[in-house]
Amino acid sequence: MELIPIHPFEPVSSNTVPEGQDWISQIKWDGVRILSYWNGEETKLYNRKLNERTYTFPELTNIRSYTNADSIILDGEVIALDQNGNPSFHEVMRRDGIRRLDRVKFVMEAVPIYYMIFDILYYNGEWVNDKTLKERLELLSSVITPNKQIQVVPINNDNQALFEVSKQHGLEGIVCKNLNSRYIIDGKNSDWQKIKNYKDIIAVIGGVTYRSGIVNSILVGLYDDEDRFWYIGHVGTGKLTHAEWKQLTEVIEAIKIEKNPFSNQPKRVKEIQWIDPLLTVKVQFIEWTEGHSLRQPSIQAFVNQEPKTCKFTN
């Protein structure tokens, strides 16, 4: 078996929770989608964009410690926890963002990660993605031995109740799946539906403001289909530490510009330092306002994404 990564099956967004005996639900973890590949000789890890993460998450590469399969492809989410024990996108990005391998061991100790496995695509030399989800889940539970860092995501038959639990605990939401569904490689349809407690986007930073010489807020935007860059919000709250604000202050020194990069003019924001729109960030928010700006936006973490791909969606 050659370890060639594939684009995973994706859920569609939904505002309603599907019900019925064919539907199950699982917690939607606020982490990084990771597929693990084991051919009997070596293990490799890739994210949904086919970027390798084998050396970023070395704790997951000893597949023999949690399965006796001769070969296998698993799909799951790598998560990290905050101080309250809740999944934190900000924390997991401290691990996923590592590019210097000499820092991995240090950050491993500071930010433990966990692999929440929810599907199996390949087992002992055969693709199983055309089996029903019910069959795949039965196979998955029989071939994975959970440990402290490796877990099989539990399933729930009362989807609405699980959604309420996710809201009570401030989790991202749930994913509902049809038990008769096949796993379509590089596919996306309503057999899998994600229902979130809040919305989030990857946006591009076009300007900043300062307090006492340190950046204290960012102005973010998205591109339209004609590659015009539109301001959508001013964000000064979130999960960034003081050290991360200082680091951002240093990073933008090289990308300051004099002209507003947005196609529209931000309102009620004074003393803006414009920057070249090169930095991307995950922003959580409640809803879009009528003026197509974000209501109650909050910074989650910096991410590595091509800015021109950060677009408005219908």
Torsion of CA 187, 89, 94, 280, to 10 degrees: 70
Q: What contacts 244, CB < 8 A, 6 or more positions away?
A: 302
Question: In angstroms, how far apart are the furthest CA atoms of the chain?
Answer: 61
Please name every residue paired with 294 in a beta bridge, in sequence order, or none if there are none. Answer: 288
Residues in the chain: 314
pTM confidence score? 0.77
Burial (Cβ within 10 Å: 0-12, 13-18, ≥19) of residue 104:
middle
Give residue limits of the domains in the chain: 10-196, 199-309
Q: What is the mean pLDDT of the chain?
A: 93
Quick one: 10-196 is in which CATH superfamily?
DNA ligase/mRNA capping enzyme (3.30.470.30)
* Token couple for 156: 């729930």
Place of tokens 């229902």: 195
Q: Whole-angstrom Cα distance, residue 295 to residue 311?
A: 18
Torsion of CA 244, 250, 252, 254, to 10 degrees: -150
- The reply to whether 10-196 and 199-309 are identical in fold is no
Q: What is the pLDDT of residue 314?
A: 58
Q: Whole-angstrom Cα distance, residue 130 to residue 9?
A: 12
57-86 pLDDT, tens digit each: 999 999 999 999 999 999 999 999 988 888
CATH for 199-309 (3.40.630.30, 2.40.50.140, 3.30.930.10, 2.40.37.20): 2.40.50.140
Q: Whole-angstrom Cα distance, residue 199 to residue 105?
A: 33
Which one-letter DSSP state was computed for residue 256?
B
Q: What is the pLDDT of residue 253?
A: 95
212-233 pLDDT, tens digit each: 999 999 999 999 999 999 999 9
Q: Whole-angstrom Cα distance, residue 216 to residue 224?
A: 27
Beta strands in 212-260 (DSSP E): 214-223, 229-235
173-182 pLDDT, tens digit each: 999 999 999 9
Share of the chain above pLDDT 90, in %: 76
120-177 pLDDT, tens digit each: 999 999 999 999 999 999 999 999 999 999 999 999 999 999 999 998 888 889 999 9
Q: Whole-angstrom Cα distance, residue 204 to residue 306?
A: 9
CA 309 remoteness from chain centre: 16
* Token couple for 285: 């928010």
How much of the chain is in helix, strand and coil states, percent to nearest 5? Answer: 20, 35, 45
The answer to whether 283 and 90 are in contact (CB under 8 A) is no
Q: What angle do CA 133, 162, 21 make, to 5 degrees?
A: 45
